[in-house]
Amino acid sequence: MKQVLGKRRVISSQRELKALLERVMAKDGDYLVSGPRARKIAYGSGLVGMEIECRETHELKSLFNCPVCGHRLKLVKNMTVFGGTVNLGYRCEYCPYWTGLKRRVPTRYIFTRKSQ
């Protein structure tokens, strides 16, 4: 991942990340990665922070797995004054993705190098 980043501090889209990753991997033979795979490699390296830009939809379907990294989502609940709980949404325990009851759909990823 260090090689992929080179001197860059910010990679401003998943497409760019994928291109950079493929260039480095091509040294070991032809290598193609999918966008989501590139994202998982980058974030999983621990060297890169990730910002997720989303748009809201009105879909109210339940989510079980994170659309960003595939890990299980945790239901976020809040206590009400009446002693019950309300569902506020979901958040991922692995990456920064979260969503309210209005589903947030990731539209863009920004990767930043973590300072060491």
d(CA 77, CA 62): 14
Strand segments (E) across 13-115: 48-56, 73-79, 85-92, 98-100, 104-113
Interface pick for Zn ion out of 4, 17, 21, 66 (rule CB under 5 A): 66
Q: Is 17 in the site for Zn ion (CB under 5 A)?
A: no
Number of residues that bind Zn ion (CB under 5 A): 8
d(CA 109, CA 65): 18
Interface pick for Zn ion out of 25, 35, 94, 98 (rule CB under 5 A): 94
Tokens read off for 18: 């994928």
Interface pick for Zn ion out of 14, 90, 95, 109 (rule CB under 5 A): 95
Interface pick for Zn ion out of 68, 99, 103, 109 (rule CB under 5 A): 68
Q: Is 92 in the site for Zn ion (CB under 5 A)?
A: yes
Q: How many helices (H) and strands (E) does the chain have?
A: 3, 6
Q: Is 21 in the site for Zn ion (CB under 5 A)?
A: no
CB atoms within 10 A of CB 83: 6
Q: Is 48 in the site for Zn ion (CB under 5 A)?
A: no
Binding site for Zn ion (CB under 5 A): 66, 68-69, 71, 92, 94-95, 97
